[in-house]
Amino acid sequence: MTPDVISANPAPAPFAIPVRIYYEDTDIAGVVYYANYLRYLERARSDWLRAEGIELDVVQRDLGAVFVVRRVEADYLQPALLGNLLTVTAEPIEVGASRMTILQRVLRREGERDTLLFTARVTAAFVAADLGGPVRMPRAMRDALKKALPPAITDPA
């Protein structure tokens, strides 16, 4: 690859957390139970929001609103197993007035490469905490979330 083809501003790596697989996560064969992947995604999204300066308990208390998962499109590609150390990512791909869409992946490190085990596209809605329906995110919150969008999504050129 020649230098003129390499991007001067490569896309930042998605936010990621480590997750170790324990007995409690698996079935008798040592394979992660399918619903546990959703728990791992939730942890990564919550930690990503915290890293962006959005504390969910403060948002609920001060704004009377919460994020709820509205839709999940998931693909289970390979099993995670007892003892695996996984990486779970959260990468926003769309931020609107009262919802956001996050691309999430679960990977297992194998030697020098990562193996993709699971991928999901999660849509979260911002709603009144009493479940009264969608509400607009405050502009500062939306702006913070939009800053985390990959450059190709934020730059229309």
> Taking residues 134-157, what's their average pLDDT?
83
- Total count of residues recorded for the chain: 157
State whether residue 108 is helix, strand or coil. Answer: strand
Coil, helix or strand for 100? strand
pTM listed for this prediction: 0.87
Can you give the pLDDT at residue 75?
98
27 carries an active-site annotation: yes
Q: Which domains does the chain have, with CATH numbers?
A: 15-149 (3.10.129.10)
Catalytic residue, chosen from 4, 25, 27, 62, is 27
pLDDT at 41: 98
**Tens digit of pLDDT for each residue in 101-130?**
999 999 998 888 999 999 999 999 999 999
133-157 per-residue burial string, b: 16 or more CB within 10 A, e: under 16: ebbebeeebbebbeebbeeeeeeee
Question: What digits encode the pLDDT tens for the residues 55-93?
Answer: 999 999 999 999 999 999 999 999 999 999 999 999 999
CA distance 65 to 56: 9
